[in-house]
Amino acid sequence: MPALTHTEAVERAQLLDVHGYDVHLDLTTGEETFRSSTTIDFTARTTGDTFVELKPHTLHHAELDGRPLDPATLEDNRLPLTGLTPGRHRLHIEADMRYSRTGEGMHRFTDPADGESYVYTQLFLDEVERVFPSFNQPDLKAVFNASVTAPAEWTVLGNGIATREGNRWTLAPTPPLSTYFVAFAAGPWHSVHTEHAGLPFGLHCRRSLAPHLDSDAEELFGITRACFDRFHQTFDEPYPFDSYDQAFVPEFNAGAMENPGLVTFRDEFLYRSAVTDTERQTRGVVIAHEMAHMWFGDLVTLKWWDDIWLNESFAEYMGYQVLSEATRFTGPWTEFAISRKSWGYDADQRPTTHPVAPDPEAVHDTAAALLNFDGISYSKGAGALRQLVAWLGEKDFLAGINDHFARHRFGNATLADFIDSLDRVSDRDVHDWARHWLRTSGVDTLTPEVSMVSEENGGWRLDLHHHGSRPHQLRIACYDHQEDGRLTAREPLTLQLTADGGTHTHHFTGTRPDLLLLNDQDLTYAKIRLDPHSWNTALNALSALPDPLNRAVTWNAARDMVRDAQLAPAAYLQAARAHLPRETDNAIARGVLTFARTQLTDHYTTAHDRPAALATLADTARELLEHTGPHDALRLTAVRALIDSTTEPGILHDWLRTETVPGGPALDPELRWRTLTRLAVLGALTTTEIDAELRRDPSATGREGAARCRAALPDPAAKEAAWQAMYGGDELSNYLFTATAQGFWQAEQLDLLRPFAERYFTDAVALAARRGPALAITAGREGFPRILVEDATLRLTEDCLREAAPVPALRRQLTERLDDLRRALRVRRAP
């Protein structure tokens, strides 16, 4: 299937105005296909040729203005429309479309818990043609009239309020939408309804998850109402659609999707097991993020995919900001700093980095666009906006946003349009700011060097080395270390760094602070270093820093030093061992432990040093347990870390036998499968025990847990069976493929796994070409042999990229995994 190029999109937009779609789907024709009947009304401005995108199982009939079109002319999922004359036209197409099992197009899922089936759409970017024909590009907006015929026991959801007559559901006409926002979800949903601000609000999930939705419905509605009201206080433009449904759907590839009026979420956000308040906060951020999209993306939509930051960076920023302003959650920005921001930093240091707002020529087609939905467009973009607000001021920032909405409502806009709106309300040179922040790639690094000016008269000097090319509105926190161990804060320093880089020298009176922390409150996007005296203070008193956000900034500095081979992994672990038992913020504890257990122990630590690293982590988790009560969120984080780090299967067997951790918590399904996975890795679990657990938990997540456990067994036959399941056929869903791949590659099993490395680079390339971009991304991200941090893996990856011609989605993943391997080898070989 050829990707739509930017040139083609520009030419088609110059030729056509699309007025409306009339789409009818019949979901009663079987489990493999559904019927799609579509009429498109459009105007041609001039004489010309174009095409409509369509990926049918069977194309039954097509006609333009009543004239039949030859189905045989459909090639590469494009149906030519030739000889268009100026004026109105009507295109009608009847086709059978295939259900997806990979989360793309119209995904069909049968719940193993009760046998009920559900379907939902994910039409993002270029998947619309799997459901109905369209002129599929974001700047050809149109009104959609849709109806669905469904089995009698099903409920149908869509972008507008649905009414039912017999088995046919009719959805209210939409305002002008881009094609990728059209959404349907159908099945025997369990639903909870309410009303707010005169609009119907709904929550929906599959029936087997009904108890979990019911237990959280008030919290979910509470967050939704609070964010809805806060957005109306912030934006002049009211919510632009007729209802607000949130559907928690199975096997969803993304975290959520901002379909107007029908937001879809992965249904792991309905918690079957105990979770921390940090996880509930993260769910709240996603709710706020998707609601922000109703304005950023849905009301005003990018013109082409080079401006995805106008959607994602703004929704990311507003999600964290609005949740912190409107709800009980006070720590969203701490979680962003310790967990989310590293996604952007890591992506921005790889060879695949790109500007937040790249030139259109760099996003030459939709295949290239798909690759840019990454940590740069989300995390870095939000970090840049946080800096913009610090520099511009919130009042002017919001005034510019409202000007942007007013000028482009239900239309399309570009970076230049948005910057013009900010320029209209501010006396700052926003165009220059955007040039430095949005049109460049890479991470600036800020390194302080502190010296005393005079031992007799006091005074100290700060030489701030700025490696980079962006201006920064920078705050510097200053702390003194007291004899009782406390850190007391002085007034922070505020500096303006120009885009020239270089060294900025500043003189101050009095004694130097014991801890000088650049990027106080995490208001800019840059890697920071600590001077030796400050780092020594941090090693002694990090947990005493009074502000959790600044503790997160300090831990991030340590993380970057490890990744840049400037701090030994063992030193990071010792800092964690010293300070995490006294940490009070769960997001920080989770972020530090996650980095330590995954990247640090599995990739940056040699096989010789790994047992000691795991022992340090296990000891840290045990001490955390000693310092927490049964209802402390940190306790669950500690239990998870201990399960993942222990090398003593006897402890885990004891927990399974008693069905609880001593002192709590009880082993719920998530903890049971986590424990069983670790036992499988250690060779202390049998297939009989896996089968018994699956009978106990026959849910979809139970199936994933069993697949993960089977693949983790240190047995050649088990590994071969897992490999064949992943690459020998096309039956696995994206979720089951992910679970199998996660279980397969284990750092405890290097000798057993080495023979599979070479096979990966042939089998993954074939799978990606066969099954499409969603599985290609999964195979590159989860299936890659990243635990084989060896020169041989490096050479195999280089050979594959040079000779095997992987599809773009897999090529991007392999390029990034190659860079990760090189970094891991540098860290391991550092003196």
Q: Which are the catalytic amino acids?
A: 290
Which tokens hold the place of 213?
């939705």
- Rounded CA gap, 767 and 762, in Å? 9
3-state class (DSSP) for residue 500: coil
Q: Report the run of H or E that residue 53 belongs to, with start and end.
A: strand 48-53
Quick one: CA dihedral 530, 534, 540, 541, positive or negative? Answer: negative
Q: What is the CA radius of gyration of the chain?
A: 27
Helix (H) or strand (E) holding 450, with range, is strand 445-452
Judge contact between 707 and 739, C-beta under 8 A: yes
Q: Which of 826, 763, 765 is nearest to 791 (CA)?
A: 826
Contact of 785 with 745, CB cutoff 8 Å: yes
* Count of CA atoms in the C-beta half-sphere (13 A) of 540: 17
For CA atoms 376, 379, 383, 389, the dihedral sign is positive
Contacts 24+ apart (CB under 8 A), 605-608: 605/569, 605/570, 605/828, 606/828, 607/747, 607/750
CA atoms within 13 A on the CB side of 571: 17
303, 414 Cβ separation under 8 angstroms: yes
Specify the 3-state DSSP secondary structure of 579. Answer: helix
Q: Is 465 left (phi over 0), alpha (psi -120 to 50) or beta?
A: beta
Return d(Cα 58, Cα 75) in angstroms, integer: 13
In angstroms, the CA 676 to CA 653 distance is 9
Q: Which tokens go with 366?
A: 């939709």
Beta-carbon contacts of residue 224 (< 8 Å; ≥ 6 apart): 196, 201, 244, 246, 287, 291
Can you tell me whether residue 492 is helix, strand or coil? Answer: coil
CA distance 122 to 253: 9
Using DSSP, state whether 653 is helix, strand or coil. helix
Residue in 223, 285, 224, 305 with CA at minimum distance from that of residue 9 = 305
Q: What is each CA distance from 107 to 121, 135, 211, 260, 576, in whole angstroms?
A: 6, 21, 24, 19, 43
Cβ neighbours of residue 94 closer than 8 Å, sequence gap 6 or more? 35, 36, 37, 59, 60, 61, 62
463 token code pair:
């030489």
